[in-house]
């Protein structure tokens, strides 16, 4: 029993003495002993700009990337990106995203705390360098036209832009920055109507800024109100209800018309009243006819009697002239003188 206990004590003593040596050997083989290296790089090409980092919050220790740092074994440090946005002569813009290591996010903040430096972080065998990742962006501009190809006013309430990496909804259309990739305008809401985009529109920002014209299902429309004699009716009240269920009030002008402007997708209804009398509701479609004529079952407008009176006076004058002429022709000759 004593020999067994003595042997156990010897094994324990050897373990205490030699196991730390084995651990040091492991670090020496797979990591670093005195000086450890960490390489920091960036996704911003050198031709497009320079990314600067500050070491350990020391304004006197600023380095451009890529850079390989040498640190003492078992030390820990902070690298802080100083310029979160860069502009390039190519028209691109680079915006801060995150620090990554081994293609995984290390931290989304500008300041990155290194691991304790027990290993080198330079090559692919140790996970590679730490990367300051920036998003490359280009500007886009969207213009809008109606179904006839004319400029659309107002612009859509919003559009949806989709790419392989994200989908955004925006109401900003001029000189806006977006990730440098291929996008598509997939949806548009105009005048409250969500189905205003007849077909997807590509927007390619993969290699530069771009401007595209987006066609919207909007149709120029007007309504003309006439009487039974096709004379224009002034002062008729119209309630126009659009496809998005919104309504607007109009009053016909001296030509009997109201201009509705551009309306969504085409169909609308026109409810008409005239001189306090409800005249009914008409269903119209601006995609079929831009000008819709509504005929009311009423007599001529105030201008009609004036025209008729002139015609009647003319007829009466001609008739009187003919009668007088006839009397003169029929007058018997005077009797002969004896």
Residue 53's CB is within 10 A of a number of other CB atoms, namely 24
Q: Give pLDDT tens digits for 105-118.
A: 999 999 999 999 99
Is the pLDDT score of 273 beyond 80? Answer: yes
Is the pLDDT score of 206 beyond 80? Answer: yes
Please give the share of the chain, as a percent, with pLDDT higher than 90: 67
CATH assignment of 137-215, among 3.40.50, 1.10.287, 2.60.40, 2.30.30? 2.60.40
Q: Is residue 304 helix, strand or coil?
A: helix
More confident residue, 212 or 325: 212
SS (H, E, C) 95-113: EEEEEEECCEEEECCCEEE
Q: Give pLDDT tens digits for 211-265.
A: 999 999 999 999 999 999 999 999 999 999 988 788 899 999 999 999 988 888 8
Is the pLDDT score of 122 beyond 80? Answer: yes
Distance CA 187, CA 166 (A): 14
Which of 16-20, 165-169, 190-194, 320-324 bottoms out in mean pLDDT, i.e. has the lowest? 16-20
Q: Which two tokens stand for residue 305?
A: 């009697």
pLDDT at 319: 65
pLDDT at 212: 98
Query: What's the pLDDT band for 316 if we cut at 50, 70, 90?
Result: low
Residue 154: cis peptide before it, omega within 30 degrees of 0: yes
B/e letters for 118-140, b = 16+ CB within 10 Å, e = fewer, are ebbbbeeebbbbbbbbbbbbbbb
How do the domains of the chain map onto residue ranges? 1-30, 35-135, 137-215, 219-295
Note if the pTM is more than 0.75. Answer: no
Protein fold of 219-295: Immunoglobulin-like (2.60.40)
Which of 25-39, 119-133, 308-322 bottoms out in mean pLDDT, i.e. has the lowest? 308-322
Average pLDDT score, the chain: 85
Is the pLDDT score of 322 beyond 80? Answer: no
Q: Give pLDDT tens digits for 1-26.
A: 444 444 454 444 444 334 333 333 33
Same fold, 137-215 and 219-295: yes
pLDDT at 325: 62
């Amino acid at each position: 029993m004593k020999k067994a206990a003595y042997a156990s004590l010897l094994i324990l003593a050897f373990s205490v003495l030699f196991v730390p040596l084995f651990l040091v050997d492991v670090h020496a083989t797979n990591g670093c002993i005195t000086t450890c290296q960490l390489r920091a790089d960036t996704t911003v090409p050198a031709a497009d700009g320079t990314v600067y980092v500050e070491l350990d919050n020391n304004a006197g220790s600023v380095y451009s990337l890529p850079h390989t740092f040498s640190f003492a074994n078992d030390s820990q440090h902070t690298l802080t990106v100083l310029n979160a946005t860069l502009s390039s002569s190519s028209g691109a813009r680079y915006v801060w995203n995150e620090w990554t290591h081994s293609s995984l996010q290390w931290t989304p903040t500008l300041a990155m705390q290194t691991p304790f430096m027990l290993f080198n972080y330079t090559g692919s065998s140790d996970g590679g360098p730490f990367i300051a990742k920036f998003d490359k962006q280009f500007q886009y501009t969207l213009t809008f036209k109606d179904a006839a190809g004319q400029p659309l006013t107002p612009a859509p309430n919003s559009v949806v832009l989709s790419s392989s990496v994200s989908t955004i909804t925006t109401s900003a259309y001029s000189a806006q920055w977006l990730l440098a990739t291929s996008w598509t305008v997939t949806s548009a809401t105009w005048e409250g109507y969500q189905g205003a985009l007849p077909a997807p529109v590509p927007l390619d920002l993969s290699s530069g800024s771009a401007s595209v014209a987006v066609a919207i299902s909007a149709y120029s429309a007007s309504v003309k109100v006439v009487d039974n004699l096709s004379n224009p009716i002034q002062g008729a009240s119209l309630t126009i209800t659009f496809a998005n269920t919104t309504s607007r009030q109009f009053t016909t002008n001296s030509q009997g018309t109201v201009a509705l402007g551009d309306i969504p997708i085409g169909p609308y209804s026109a409810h008409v009243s005239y001189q306090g009398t409800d005249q009914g509701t008409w269903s119209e479609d601006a995609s079929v006819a831009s000008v819709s004529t509504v005929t009311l079952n009423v007599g001529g407008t105030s201008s009609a009697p004036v025209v008729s009176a002139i015609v009647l006076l003319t007829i009466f004058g001609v008739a009187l002239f003919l009668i007088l002429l006839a009397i003169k022709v029929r007058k018997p000759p005077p009797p002969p003188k004896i």
